[in-house]
Chain A
């Protein structure tokens, strides 16, 4: 293989881009902006999806709530005993939880305070929490708490400290921090406070036999539908949520949020392609003439096309890699302007980092979007010019 010929053509291609830098910039800038927008949108969408799916993965197999008049109401813990007797049910643990809006400075931040019966719930690993410091709750604990690392940072507490916790609704509690869990899942790390169920009942004013919902764990999770049907038929007015449908909803919600931004990057990409096509076509006589002269002096059609391909590889490659990097930097800087849209209600959690995920599939798609449209928009006119007789090309 004549590497030096290909290197020569590459060098000429690079020189041509500088030589016609106005045209180069007119194509490069919108393309890079399109890739930046698409990359930022894709990385944050992938991060949100990953976070949401992680969050749903650690849900119980089935969650049971009591509905009255279309609203979730407190339910009796005896329902858990009843569900425990059903086929395939391994555990049925009550939970008491609710939102606690807390004023910090001039702003209201809403936390989730969740009370669990650690004797009936699976261990922290099974409910998706990795303990980073300290320990998880014991069955005899009272007025203790395990909190997310971001929550600890916000209240300036560590393991062993006391947390005086009161919300805007008048609920109040004083908890000893016994453990911190890691931020595997941003949503949990940013707002979750786990306490013993008795502590939560005290906080929210529940009686001893009341719960917010029931967490049902199955021996064979593949048979979820049958157990859900059993629960619905035996407990009137219950809302039965299986893990899969919650996951599907999360995918839909976070996936669709990216849809708005698709319009933006598509417009920018079209602008880049149209500019490239227009430049290639309106300057076609000039390019055709130039190609005719090159062929008359001993260049082959393939030499010409190779040079044009190299020109576009350089523009597309630089714009695509630069756009991806810019998109990442934008997200690392906090995604100003779009963070609130993507995170939605979650933006009210203090210190919640934007979940960003870069996966091979998305990078591959970005590369394809960056390269192929531009190649098509410019190679076709060049190929058309390269395949006619030099005489005809020169005469125009």
Chain B
């Protein structure tokens, strides 16, 4: 389902060149869950951004469902991001000036769904994460854990086959961590392919994770 060949991503900064990802080969089968671990700065977020088509590699190849996406132009990647990938960010990245319901429904806007249709879909996901009572709240009014749960709902609104989560539990309390973990188990049981980066030991338990990849320090 997800495959990389000699994947590299290099950043050039004022301090010099940073090889965030270096010659990485990995494979994640359909419906499997890969856990990325490694010290801070080991390239976990960069790898997730590459797989999630949020950035282009410096060299190497990325395949999603045997379709190479490494060199696709942006408008093709847009379709892939929309149809196949649900991305959950470490810092939630909700649009603070929008309501919870609008945030979840935002990916549906370019599809031409009516307001009623978008709200219906968004509300059903809100119910799934047990936050329907927060529908009209502004995103900025929620706690960190609640924002992350809303971010998970947003990532699911297009029913993606691939879920990518970058440190989903790092900025939230334990109760919400457990809720998100439970949700991830449900998603895996639904047959979705998942790539998660996390230091949380909870992710290693109860059979959620099929494989663990530990990344080293970047050069």
Contact = CB atoms under 8 A, between A and B. Distances in A.
Nearest to A289: B93
Interface in A22-64: none
Interface string A272-309: 00000000000000000110011111111111000000
A19 B111 contact: no
Given A298-B107, A299-B109, A11 B115 contact: yes
Contact of A394 (B82, B89, B107): B89
Given A5-B110, A8-B112, A296-B54, A301 B74 contact: yes
A294 B106 contact: yes
A300 B111 contact: no
Contacts of A391: 49, 54-55
B67 interface: no
Contact of B109 (A8, A20, A394): A8
Given A299-B109, A391-B54, 18 more contacts: A2-B112, A5-B112, A9-B110, A12-B109, A289-B93, A293-B95, A295-B78, A295-B81, A296-B54, A297-B155, A298-B78, A300-B75, A300-B78, A301-B78, A302-B75, A303-B109, A394-B54, A394-B93
B93 A296 contact: yes
B186 to A, nearest CB: 21
A222 interface: no
Contact of A299 (B89, B98, B110): B110
B110 A300 contact: yes
A357 B74 CA distance: 51
Nearest to B48: A391
Contact of B56 (A12, A298, A389): A389
Contacts of A387: 74
A109 B75 CA distance: 72
Interface in B87-146: 87, 89, 93-95, 97-98, 106-107, 109-115
A161 B157 CA distance: 85
Nearest to A301: B74
Interface in A113-127: none
B198 interface: no
A327 interface: no
B32 interface: no
Contact of A296 (B83, B87, B110): B87
Given A297-B87, A298-B78, A19 B115 contact: no
A297 B74 CA distance: 13
B160 to A, nearest CB: 9
Contacts of A2: 112
A321 to B, nearest CB: 27
20 contacts: A3-B112, A8-B110, A8-B115, A9-B110, A19-B98, A20-B97, A290-B95, A296-B93, A298-B78, A298-B82, A298-B83, A299-B107, A299-B110, A301-B74, A301-B78, A303-B110, A387-B74, A389-B56, A390-B54, A391-B55
B54 A301 contact: no
B154 interface: yes
Nearest to B160: A298
A8 B107 CA distance: 12
In the A-B complex, the 9 residue pairs with the smallest Cβ-Cβ separation, listed nearest first, are A298-B82, A4-B112, A391-B55, A5-B112, A391-B54, A300-B78, A297-B107, A391-B49, A298-B107
Contacts of B114: 4
B177 interface: no
A303 B81 CA distance: 14
Nearest to A5: B112
A46 B11 CA distance: 60
B193 interface: no
Contacts of A12: 109
Contacts of A295: 78, 81
